[in-house]
C-alpha cells in the first residue's frame, strides 16, 4: 500500500516558472526522499532529507520537511522542459528502514 499521497496529482507550468509539489505520509520516519521518473523509465534519486532536518537545497531543488504535520514539499525553481516527469516522495518506516514506501506521485509537465 502507498504511504501517502502527493498533491497535486498533475501540474502544468511554463518554462521558467516554479513548481511546488507536496507529499503527506502516515507513519514516523527516519528520512524522506524524492525521486523523479521519466515516462516508462526507472527512478532517479533527487534528494534525501532526514527527520531532524527542516530544509535542504540541491541546485534548483528545495525540499522542506514538517514532521509534526507529516508532510514535505519539493520546489523546483526556474523549471525547464527537461523537468517534465513524475515526481515521487518515498519514506522509510522509522523502525524498519529497509524498504521505501512511495507516494502516488505528481506528474509535472513543463511547456517550452
The footprint of other proteins (CB under 8 A) covers 1-2, 30-31, 33, 35, 40-45, 48, 50, 88, 90, 92, 97-105
Q: How far apart are CA 102 and CA 29, in angstroms?
A: 13
Kindly give the pairing relationship between strand 106-111 and strand 10-14.
parallel
CB of 110 to other proteins, least distance (A): 19
Q: Which is nearer to other proteins, 42 or 112 (CB)?
A: 42
Q: Which is nearer to other proteins, 19 or 43 (CB)?
A: 43
Q: How far apart are CA 110 and CA 71, in angstroms?
A: 24
CB of 99 to other proteins, least distance (A): 5
CB of 60 to other proteins, least distance (A): 19
Residue 70: left (phi > 0), alpha (psi -120 to 50), or beta?
A: left
CA distances from 95 to 50, 99, 101 (A): 14, 11, 13
CB of 16 to other proteins, least distance (A): 28
Q: Which is nearer to other proteins, 17 or 94 (CB)?
A: 94
Amino acid at each position: 500500500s502507498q504511504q501517502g499521497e502527493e498533491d497535486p496529482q498533475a501540474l502544468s507550468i511554463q518554462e521558467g516558472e516554479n513548481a511546488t509539489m507536496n507529499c503527506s505520509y502516515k507513519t514516523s520516519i527516519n528520512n524522506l526522499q524524492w525521486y523523479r521518473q521519466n515516462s516508462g523509465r526507472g527512478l532517479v534519486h533527487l534528494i534525501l532529507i532526514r527527520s531532524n532536518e527542516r530544509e535542504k537545497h540541491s541546485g534548483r531543488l528545495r525540499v522542506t520537511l514538517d514532521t509534526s504535520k507529516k508532510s514535505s514539499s519539493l520546489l523546483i525553481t526556474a523549471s525547464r522542459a527537461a523537468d517534465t516527469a513524475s515526481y515521487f516522495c518515498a519514506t522509510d518506516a522509522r523502525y524498519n528502514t529497509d524498504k521505501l514506501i512511495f507516494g502516488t506521485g505528481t506528474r509535472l509537465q513543463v511547456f517550452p
